A = this chain, B = another copy of it.
Amino acid sequence: MPQDTQTNRRIVLAERPAGLPDDDTLRMEEGPVPEAGPGEMLLRTVWLSLDPYMRGRMNDAKSYAEPVAIGGVMTGQVVAEVVASDIAGFAPGDHVLAGSGWQDYAVSDGTQVLNLGPSPEHPSWALGILGMPGYTAHAGLLRIGEPKAGETVVVAAASGPVGATVGQIAKIKGCRVVGVAGGPEKCAHVVDNLGFDACIDHCADDFEAQLKAACPDGIDVYFENVGGRVLYAVLPLLNPFARIPVCGMVAWYNLTGLPDGPDRGPQILGTLLRMKVKMEGFIIFDSFPREAQEEFRHDMTDWLEKGLIQYREQVVEGLEAAPGALVDLLQGRNFGKMVVRVG
């Protein structure tokens, strides 16, 4: 059931999941392709981004963004092609970055839509290394983590699109970089292709001891993407004045309640206090000033041109495969930035 020109397939939130999403969480619906009115344009989705934050939007909880409504189209960033346009600056054939979600077609008034031009070299990169994940890595590491040459930076989810970029930027800045990833294949990729100094498999029985051995001078920056066992292994290794940008906690996204004890609260607070550690959560959309994004675009374009940053995508074929791929992603079964080729 591929994309066609008559039908708009939409994947909507059928019910809020308890824990990991399952077959009842999302539902595909079909309808006619919508029509663009005056001052609007019709977009055809080409690439859909899959990201861990999507699990949070399925919850009806106080957060930085509105939850997806029951029956509403799942939220998501896409690269789309303009089919028809009544907006100056957007012409048929242009590729755009938009937030139109998990569907084949969408009508837009152009708000928060970025024109990538008629033939961008790597259209899907706007969803990854040149988009939100890349910007998240750049601003979170440099503006909160503030790594200095010679320091040790530990990066959780090191083979993921954010973590891989964080570690490579830290290498550019002259740091010792230790990744944490799930399984030997990912760890080998992180060291061999991305150039990290070491990468520890968090599934290993002796993960804590291996991490300690890989950080003989302690840890100055921990880029937090996962929470759980990795965080608790990092805490005892932190140096005075360490910084922890909190970007995600994917190990805990599917919790239905607080996990069993012991309560690590005293360990977390005690480490912050004794070691004078800063821990700061951030959301890329509103945590940084405007110039942060310009700085990111400038740096990343330069580094990609010079071959200093490697970037890996995992391509999922077809909109209908997106729900299962998101479950894989939430369980760490992706390898690189997950994008869905929709049309």
Give the interface of A toward B (CB within 8 A): 56, 61-64, 224, 227, 231-232, 240, 246-249, 252, 255, 257-283, 286-287
Can you name the residue of chain B whose Cβ is closest to the Cβ of A277? B281
Can you name the residue of chain B whose Cβ is closest to the Cβ of A264? B265
CA distance A128 to B282 in the complex (A): 36
| A101 nearest CB across to chain B (Å) | 21
| A216 nearest CB across to chain B (Å) | 16
Identify 19 new A-B residue pairs, CB closer than 8 A, beyond the known A264-B265, A276-B281, A278-B280.
A56-B274, A224-B269, A227-B266, A231-B265, A249-B273, A257-B262, A258-B267, A260-B261, A260-B263, A263-B263, A268-B268, A269-B281, A272-B280, A272-B281, A274-B283, A276-B286, A277-B281, A279-B280, A280-B280
CA distance A281 to B269 in the complex (A): 8
B249–A64 contact, CB under 8 A? no
CA distance A246 to B280 in the complex (A): 13
| A308 nearest CB across to chain B (Å) | 29
Residue numbers in B under 8 Å from A61 (CB-CB)? 274
CA distance A260 to B282 in the complex (A): 30
State whether A279 and B274 are in contact (beta carbons under 8 Å apart), knowing that A261-B259, A263-B260 are contacts in the complex.
Answer: no
CA distance A260 to B262 in the complex (A): 5
CA distance A156 to B267 in the complex (A): 19
CA distance A265 to B246 in the complex (A): 13
Residue numbers in B under 8 Å from A246 (CB-CB)? 269, 272-273
Residue numbers in B under 8 Å from A278 (CB-CB)? 278-281
